[in-house]
Amino acid sequence: MTKEERKHTSARYDQELAEIKEKLIYLGALTEKAIEKSIQSLLGRDSDLARAVITEDNQIDLLDVEIEEKCIRLLALRQPAARDLRFITTAIKINGHLERIGDMAANIAEKAILLNEMPQLKPYIDIPRMAEIARGMIRNSLDAFVQEDIDVANKVRIEDEKIDQLNDQIFRELLTFMLEDPRKIHASLLIMQVSKSLERISDHAEGIADMVIYMVTGKIVRHEAP
């Protein structure tokens, strides 16, 4: 599947594998875009944009189903072995992670709509920073998948730490807001949920990176520290 890889005796088989890979990359691009827009709808207080993210999640769901069906079909018809088997199990899992990332982006958009109706609590600083890191993680984990590059995958696994730290920091900060002034509790909780969604997104990106390591080495590292 990589450039120097030998072709299958069946050219159609190669095409099917390539198609799954392309669709996953496209799905990855859609989810990344969804995160970007959902955060933009929050920062720019643009609820129309937020509603667009929620409707567009439907597209992500359809693609998720299409990819899964292609993978199942390939499993049934080709009975892949070795690297092909690892590729296809990885593809199925990555697909699941990306679909969940799409859902998280839609969640963020829902919270943005609510937050946009309230006075802004404070300027958003850590949230866009988190979103930027999370998007980078998705992009890099998919690059690692395409390039079969475990170094890049390992870097993604380390990035997750930063997100966790930022998430903790946001929680602590919002907690003081809530203690200070009970009227700020609702908005604070919504922002906490946005932060939590971003933290989940980075977990999914880490999950993708874990699968890339499995695909390349055959080792399941999901429960090991990076």
Partner 1 sequence: MVTTANNIIFELKQVNFFYGSTQALTDISMDFEKNRVTALIGPSGCGKSTLLRLLNRMNDLIDGTRVEGEILFEGRNIYNADNDPVEIRRRIGMVFQKPNPFPKSIFNNITYGPRLTGTRNRADLELLVEQSLKQAVLWDEVKDILNKSAMTLSGGQQQRLCIARALAMKPDVLLMDEPTSALDPISTAKIEDLIEELKKNYTIIIVTHNMQQAARVSEMTGFFYLGRLIEYALTTDIFTNPQVKQTEDYITGRFG
Residue 112 tokens, joined: 């943005």
Residue 7 is a binding residue for partner 1 (CB under 8 A): yes
Query: Is residue 2 close enough to count as binding partner 1 by CB under 8 A?
Result: no
Name the residue nearer to partner 1 (CB basis): 124 or 214: 214
Q: Provide the minimum distance between the beta carbon of 83 and partner 1 in the complex, in angstroms, as a whole number.
A: 6
Subset of 68-87 contacting partner 1 (CB under 8 A): 78-86
CA 134 – CA 117 distance, rounded (Å): 26
- Residue 216 CB, nearest approach to partner 1 (Å): 10
Binds partner 1 (CB under 8 A): choice among 3, 9, 123, 172: 9
Nearer to partner 1, 209 or 216 (CB): 216
Burial grade of 116 (CB within 10 A; 0-12, 13-18, 19 or more): middle
Q: x/- site string to partner 1, residues 189 to 218, per CB under 8 A?
A: -----------------------------x
Smallest gap from residue 156 Cβ to partner 1 (A): 22
- The sign one gets for the Cα dihedral 209, 213, 215, 221 is negative
131-160 positions binding partner 1, by CB under 8 A: none
Task: Verify binding: residue 102, partner 1, rule CB under 8 A.
Answer: no
Contact indicator for 203, 96 with CB cutoff of 8 Å: no
Span between the terminal Cα atoms of the chain, in Å: 27
Binding status of residue 3 toward partner 1 by CB under 8 A: no
Contact in structure between 104 and 197 (CB atoms under 8 Å): yes
Q: Does position 8 bind partner 1 by CB under 8 A?
A: yes
Distance CA 7, CA 14 (A): 7
Calpha distance 78→61 (Å, rounded): 26
Interface with partner 1 by CB under 8 A: which residues?
5-10, 13, 78-86, 218
